Amino acid sequence: MRVHKCDHRGERRVSYDGELISRDGERITLRAIWTLPTRTLPYVTLEQGDIFIETFYADRWYNLFQIHHRNGELKGWYADVARPARITDDDIEWDDLALDIWMDPGGTMIILDEDEFEALSHALPPNEAASARGAVAYMQDELRTHWRRFANEATARELTRRGWTLGTAESCTGGLIGHIITDRPGSSAYFAGGVISYSNEVKRRSLGVGEDTLRQHGAVSEQCALEMARGVRRALDVNVGVSATGIAGPEGGTASKPVGLTYIGISSPLGEFTEQNTWPHDRSGNKWATADAALRLLMRHLLEGHAVHATAQSDSSSSD
């Protein structure tokens, strides 16, 4: 099929060929090859031979590209805000509306060209500008879904290669980390289970978190997160323990421990570490952000083969 990328006026700017992979109702997916000279961007380098798996929608205000090196290694995902694609038997036309999102295999998401879109949006009918802005949240959700699938596969591959098992100890996430892990078919081969230690009593009784730790540092602390990760390894007799504790909100925050503050702990034969984050979302968003961060850290820990000493970070885009 022939793909035509147009500007916001609908005028064709770039055309190229793509090989049909699938077509299902309002959705079509193609395979295309990057044939232009190498292009180095702040977030990715595109090289001749790179493989683009491109999905276009006739009923959505965006499209989604999954980009691989010619050797098959994933480089990331690129989503464009665009008018619904015009799809015929032989051609796809889509209008680029400038606003884009990049997500790398490590789980970092970047919104691109916001200034360019704001300038361009004045030339769009108000309903189109609103639809384009509204597409961003849907794009982010779809990108996170793709990334979780990728991270889950990478984690499963490393655990299986090492012959290791995994357990989770969750407080503020309420089981979301385990939910993500068990979304992958076959996860029972390496995922033993989890402890939802929502109360301090369960943290003490089931995970062995020390009374002194809770009294001196509190349930929302790196010390508690690390003891939770160690404790689930003991309790479930697994090789790797992942924990999460924090303040999901909307209540429970203080000046020193605000809503959105979370700690993730990992303990394995490779080492131990914790990471602190402060999320700006609502309760559900804070829980999902924490679960995604735990999966990201677990994948990185297993792939790099050593303990990672993470620094505190903040996301700008009871104790629980």
pLDDT at 315 over 50: no
pLDDT score recorded for residue 320: 52
Mean per-residue pLDDT of the chain: 95
Pairing of strands 12-17, 45-46: unpaired
Domains belonging to the chain, first-starting first, are: 2-151 (2.40.380.10), 163-314 (3.90.950.20)
Residue that is written with structure tokens 């702990």 in the block: 265
- Residue 201 in 3-state DSSP? helix
Give the pLDDT band (50/70/90) at residue 305. Answer: confident
Percent share of the chain, pLDDT over 70: 95
Q: Report, as an integer, the average pLDDT of 57-74.
A: 98
- Residue 266 in 3-state DSSP? strand
pTM: 0.92
Dump pLDDT digits (tens) for 185-219: 999 999 999 999 999 999 999 999 999 999 999 99
Q: Report, as an integer, the average pLDDT of 31-37.
A: 97
Q: Report, as an integer, the average pLDDT of 155-184.
A: 98
Could you tell me which of 83, 102, 91, 76 has the C-alpha nearest to residue 16? 91
Q: Report, as an integer, the average pLDDT of 93-104.
A: 97
